[in-house]
Amino acid sequence: MLRLPATLMRGGTSKCWVFDADDLRAAGVTGGPDGRLDAVLASAFGATDPRQIDGVGGATSTTSKAVIVRPSAEPGIDVDYLFAQVGIGTAGVEWASNCGNCATAVGLYALRTGLAKPVHPTTTVEMRNENTGVRLSATVPTPGGVVPELGEATVPGSRALGVPVALGFRDPAGATTGALLPTGNGVDRLRTADGADRADGSHPAYGVDVTLVDAGAPAVLADAAALGSDALETVDAFSALVPTLTRLRRAAALRMGLAAPHDPVSHSVPKVGVVAPAGDYVTSLGERIAAADYDIAVRMLSMHAPHPAIGLTSAVAIASAALSPDTILAKLAENRPVATLLRLGTPAGIITADVSLDDTGAVRAVTLHRAARAIATAELLVPALLQESV
């Protein structure tokens, strides 16, 4: 039986178990991704059970997440972190992506544990995501050099209060593929496999127009209308498009050079969703949103299911693409009232991305305003061998 110290953190609309790399090393968990670490996380989360009853996983893609944190050896970076999306109903662990909500939690965790030193009145923690190489910053209020336990900040999709965190993605373009637009095109046309590719059951004869973008994370963003969607659906209604978007993700991975035809299928990269003009809709918490209050309607997948809000790396991809000429997003956002602010209508409500540009007009940083809280510190009792559920 392994005994692993861990902290359960909420970052935005996700929950993440945070592990200190030194604690894993002390417990003899020295293998990296695709090694012993995969088996240990799968066992700790109860991953093979779709309900994750015999583990600490939350049985949803937004609550079956882990982060391994270590001090960074790179000048100017406080902490490096490795993000794991732990499987649900499978022992697999995905290492190919980043999670902005978990990065929000990492910033607060670093201050709580002394990995970064708090100063008055705010502290900025510099972070590097080891999965993608993306650099981020988390700015937290620390009045008097004290790290707050609680805060008054909320995020769309949760009425729970947390410590406010301004999460910045630094120079987000091209971390995975080397370019903001990996194919060099603002719009590409992708075909999916034969089948019902529209929400109404019909099939688009000439494929689907998409923008392929690499910022924050690689993403494929489809014209919602081409799939019979308006990107205003409830989470339950949007689930009808999961099979189509899963095929679209694979087609995009091949087009972007993220996978070869015989490679295993990834369910985390690229991020995949649909975008459309703003319209009136009702959030998952029953709040009415007017079209005039935001710029682009968006619905995304998280692994195999509709995302209840939006992944922050997806928000960064959308914001970056919206400021790039000739993309689907740029056309949708051309009438936004503030050139460097983009307001996204998600199932949970409006997410605002604040974009900074350099002198050439390239995206220098995208900042999103989130909330975080430490929920528990624990010692996880992890069976040495993965146990199948009955």
197 phi and psi, to 5 degrees? Answer: -100, 0
Measured between its terminal Cα atoms, the distance across the chain in Å is 20
Print the SS3 string covering the chain: CEEEEEEEEEECCEEEEEEEHHHHHHCCCCCCCCCHHHHHHHHHHCCCCCCCCCCCCCCCCCCCEEEEEEECCCCCCCEEEEEEEECCCCCCEECCCCCHHHHHHHHHHHHHCCCCCCCCCEEEEEEEECCCCCEEEEEEECHHHCCCCCCCEEECCEEEEEEEEEEEEECCECCCCCCCCCCCCCCEEECCCCCCCCCCCCCCCCCEEEEEEEECEEEEEEEHHHHCCCCCCCHHHHHHHHHHHHHHHHHHHHHCCCCCCCCCCCCCCCEEEEEEECCCEECCCCCEECHHHCCEEEEEEECCEECCCCCHHHHHHHHHHHCCCCCHHHHHCCCCCCCCEEEEEECCEEEEEEEEECCCCCEEEEEEEEEEEEEEEEEEEECCCCCCCC
Alpha carbon distance 149, 170 (integer Å): 27
Name residue 84's beta-bridge partners: 66
Name residue 166's beta-bridge partners: 139, 369
Tokens of residue 135, six digits:
């650099």
Task: Give the model confidence (pLDDT) of 7-40 as tens digits.
Answer: 999 999 999 999 999 999 999 897 666 668 999 9
For position 357, what pLDDT does the model report? 93
pTM of the model: 0.88
Alpha carbon distance 65, 183 (integer Å): 31
Strands 158-170 and 153-155: antiparallel
Contact 115, 72 (CB under 8 A): no
For position 31, what pLDDT does the model report? 65
pLDDT digits (tens), the chain, 390 positions? 899 999 999 999 999 999 999 999 999 897 666 668 999 999 999 999 999 999 999 999 999 999 999 999 999 999 999 999 999 999 989 998 899 999 999 999 999 999 999 999 999 999 999 998 999 999 999 999 999 999 999 999 888 999 999 999 999 999 899 999 999 999 999 987 544 345 444 454 458 999 999 999 999 999 999 999 999 999 999 999 999 999 999 999 999 999 999 998 888 889 999 999 999 999 999 999 999 999 999 999 988 899 999 999 999 999 999 999 999 999 999 999 998 999 999 999 999 999 999 998 889 999 999 999 999 999 999 986 544 433
**Angle formed by the axes of helices 100-112 and 312-322, to 10°?**
120
Q: Among candidates 94, 113, 96, which has minimal Cα distance to 105? A: 113
CB atoms within 10 A of CB 285: 12
Alpha carbon distance 271, 300 (integer Å): 8
Map tokens 């993000």 to a residue. Answer: 83
Q: Among candidates 179, 165, 124, which has minimal Cα distance to 312? A: 165
Tokens of residue 131, six digits:
């999965």
